[in-house]
Each structure stands twice: as structure tokens, then as C-alpha cells.
Amino acid sequence: MGSLRAHFLHKGDHVHVGHGIASERLTEPAISIEQLLVQQKLDKNIPILTTKEASEKLKRIGFTHAYGLSKWDAVEVEKGEARLRLTAVPGRHGKRGCRRCCPR
């Protein structure tokens, strides 16, 4: 939840990103965190595709159809005549080389 809250800082607030580096929020968020759907209001039977780690966490809080995918796993879903194939692909947040200045 900590990283989610960083997205909802108010204008002028600062977030520390590591190694003495901070970033200042320049604008207000589009919506407040209170306006988001909270887990208590969500249908616990809704299908969710996510990472293996996140699916385990979701199952522990009562979500019954959380499917964890590893890199390059694929799932096909159908509804009526429509078919959709989803593939989990690796991702990188930030520009190449960002890890050197902001390691995990």
C-alpha cells in the first residue's frame, strides 16, 4: 500500500525514492485514494490475471479466481464468439540505466 499512496500525494508533497533522492509532486492527483474501489466492495469471484506473487496475496484476502502467471505464460479467455489471448511479458519501469542511480 505504501507505493500506492505515493501516487496520491498532494501538490507540493515529496516522496523519497532512495539514496537521498526525493521527488516533488507538481500537480494534484486526478482522483483521491478514497474514490477508488476498495477490496471490500469488489466481487471476490471476479477473475483476475496477475503475477504469481500477487495471486497468492489476493487468494489470502478472499479472491477466489486470481490466476498467477509467470513470464511468457499465456491464457485464452472466451465470451460468446469473442476470444482473447493474454500473454504475460516482462516489463521494465523507468528508462534504461535507471537502476544505476536508483537501485532497488
Q: Say if strands 48-51 and 21-24 run parallel, antiparallel, or are unpaired.
A: unpaired
Are 59 and 28 in a shared domain?
Answer: no
Are 32 and 45 in a shared domain?
Answer: no
For residues 10 and 28, give the distance between their C-alpha atoms in angstroms, rounded to a whole number. 5
Are 48 and 79 in a shared domain?
Answer: yes
Are 54 and 102 in a shared domain?
Answer: yes
Backbone angles phi, psi at 52, to 5 degrees: -60, -45
Number of residues written out for the chain = 104
Question: Does residue 1 surpass a pLDDT of 50?
Answer: no
Q: Which domain holds residue 57?
A: 41-104
Q: Is the pTM of this model over 0.85?
A: no
Are 17 and 65 in a shared domain?
Answer: no
Q: What is the pLDDT of residues 59-86, one digit of tens each?
A: 998 999 999 999 999 999 899 999 999 9
Are 45 and 72 in a shared domain?
Answer: yes
